[in-house]
Amino acid sequence: MNGLTPFQTLGPFFDFGLVIPNGGIIAEPGAAGRHVSIEGVVRDGVNDTLPDALVEVWQANAAGKYRHPADSRGGDVEAGFYGFGRIVTDENGRFTFKTIVPGRVPGPNGSLQAPHLAIGILARGLLTRLVTRLYFEDEPSNGEDPVLALVPGERRSTLLARRIDGDRYRFDLKLQGDGETVFFDV
Amino acid sequence: MIYPRPPAGTHPPNNSPGYRSTILRHPKQPLVIVPHTMSELTGPVYPYGRIEANDSDLTRQHAGEPLGERIIVQGRVLDEDGRPIPKTLVEVWQANAAGRYAHRVDAHPAPLDPNFSGAGRTLTDDEGRYRFLTIRPGAYPWRNHDNAWRPAHIHFSLFGTSFLSRLITQMYFEGDPLMPHDPVLHSIPDERARQRLVARFDMNVTQPEWALGYTFDIVLRGSNATPMET
């Protein structure tokens, strides 16, 4: 086995290198599914907001299909659905992205997962990527999700996007302290 | 493809108080170990945009040439079995020769270079090779501790084969006297792992009358090896 290349921090001065035009549009208006916008704030252990964080999103389309060769299940992913998003927080630590609610994808042992987005967070002061997931609070299948089931019950709410109104959801990321987001070891 | 958990000591702990900015930003709750499902075993494979010819030549993105020592940085992107990862996106960004980033927040009193932006991107070829032409970045001070200086470095971002192979790192230069003093590099516990971030001066890559060459190979998570039954 070859030794892995280690992680290092993104540092504070990355956005001229990593910003992508329209990186917060994960699905174009023509993509199938229920269109939603998600907004949130990234905060540290003393509730200060992070003006220099990068939030990356990865998800399946409305049929539960990933745009990736390892997902060999039938069907194509439609044009206009990208599945990937990359958003730099603004000076107030805010991020926003537009997407669709993904379909359910397979989990371990023949299970089905609830609709979710895989999230990676990178920033100055983070020496690796923090990994978490976003679930939708109003999805009835959350109760049978095999990954949510691994999270201590009292902390599961940190993974739920709250419906603000219509198709707007709120999902904050708290890196440390009260209300700390559940992060995963993948 | 399987993705074994990285060996202890390879990646820095998020709580690395020598690097002061980690103090309020690292999670204090234990990470929840989760299985690798379709959501983790897939990932963005060159997800966006077009790559222009000058994207991998950071010396030709403006009307004139940037100041500084012209260098070639090249290497291979491999999985843990040593197999090349073709057609994967490699993004880089860096300070200019004076140690200043073309970034609105960088307040270091060193000159900006109107002919240098410091950002590049490329795709690996079928053998996993990438190549950038750029200038050697300068060291610069930061406020982590008294008389703190970052060694010269180039930031790298890679995707690899899945959500699990994503890597953000920094490449350093062989022989840089600032490396032993840098808490960011030394947040990596394993000395052998730290050495993997140091690009080697390479006479075979150096182009006569033109540019010094450095080789920096990158190994991302992922293996086809059959796990040992235990």
Domain that holds residue B49: 20-219
The per-residue pLDDT of chain B, averaged, comes to 95
CB A145 within 8 A of CB A113: yes
Q: What is the ipTM of this complex?
A: 0.97
Specify if B227 maps to a domain.
no
CATH code at position B107: 2.60.130.10
Q: Do the domain assignments include residue B7?
A: no
Contacts of B105 in chain A (CB under 8 A): 12-13, 52
- List residues of B with catalytic annotation: 101, 140, 150, 153, 155
Measured in degrees and rounded to the nearest 5, phi and psi for residue B176 equal -70, 120
Does B118 fall in a domain? yes
A69–B26 C-beta distance less than 8 A: no
- Summarize pLDDT for B112-149 with one digit per residue, the tens: 999 999 999 999 999 999 999 999 999 999 999 999 99
pLDDT score of B229 more than 50: no
Percent of chain A past pLDDT 90, that is, above it, reads 91
Q: Which residues of B touch A84 (CB under 8 A)?
A: 44, 47-48
| Residue B30 lies inside a defined structural domain of this protein | yes
- Chain-chain contact of B101 with A2 (C-beta, under 8 angstroms): no
Taking one residue from A and the other from B, the number of pairs with CB-CB distance under 8 angstroms is: 236
- Residues B101/B141, Cβ–Cβ less than 8 Å: no
Model confidence at A118: pLDDT above 70: yes
User: Is B47–A83 a contact, with Cβ atoms under 8 angstroms apart?
Assistant: yes
User: Domains in chain B: how many in total?
Assistant: 1
In a domain, B8, yes or no: no
Model confidence over A55-92: pLDDT tens digits?
999 999 999 999 999 998 888 899 999 999 999 999 99
DSSP string, A34-89: -EEEEEEEEE-TTS-B-TTEEEEEE---TTS--SSTT--SSSPPPTTB--EEEEE-
Query: pLDDT category, B52, cuts 50, 70, 90?
Result: confident
In this prediction, residue A174 carries a pLDDT of 98
Among B40, B119, B167, select the one facing A7 at the smallest CB separation. B167
Q: Fill in the DSSP letter of residue B63.
A: S
Which chain B residue lies closest to A105 (C-alpha atoms)?
B38
Average pLDDT over residues B165-180: 98
Please report the domains of chain A, with CATH numbers, ordered by start residue. 23-174 (2.60.130.10)
The minimum CA-CA distance between A166 and chain B, rounded to whole Å, is: 27
Q: Confirm whether B82 is domain-assigned.
A: yes
Q: CA A102, A105, A108, A110 torsion: positive or negative? A: positive
Distance, CA of B181 to CA of B185 (rounded, Å): 9
Nearest by CB to residue B92, choosing from A17, A69, A123, is A17
Q: In this structure, is residue B226 part of a structural domain?
A: no
Encode burial over A15-47: b for 16+ CB neighbours within 10 A, e otherwise.
bebbebeebbbbbeeebebeebebbbbbbbbee
